[in-house]
């Protein structure tokens, strides 16, 4: 999984009715823009490291967009 600064991260809810958690990728810390990712979460404003699993979706910026 690859991401770049400005991409959106969505962590899908784990239970029925549980909301998805969204955030903005600030930095990709792995090789070749892979995880872990430094993410600023929309709901709290806190920045944390995210090690993506199968419940994570990356919404990429449109081509040519600069974060």
Each residue's pLDDT tens digit, 11-56? 998 889 899 999 999 999 999 999 899 999 999 999 999 999 999 9
DSSP class of residue 14? S
Q: How many helices (H) and strands (E) does the chain have?
A: 0, 5
CA neighbor of 11 nearest in space, from 33, 31, 35, 29: 35
Q: 65 pLDDT exceeds 70?
A: no
What is the spatial distance between Cα 66 and Cα 36, in angstroms, rounded to a whole number?
21
């Amino acid at each position: 999984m690859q991401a770049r600064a400005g991409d959106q991260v969505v962590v899908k809810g784990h239970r029925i009715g549980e909301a998805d958690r969204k955030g903005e990728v600030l930095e990709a810390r792995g090789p070749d823009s892979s995880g872990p990712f430094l993410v600023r979460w929309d709901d709290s404003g806190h920045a944390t490291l995210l090690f993506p699993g199968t419940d994570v979706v990356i919404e990429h910026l449109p081509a040519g967009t600069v974060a």
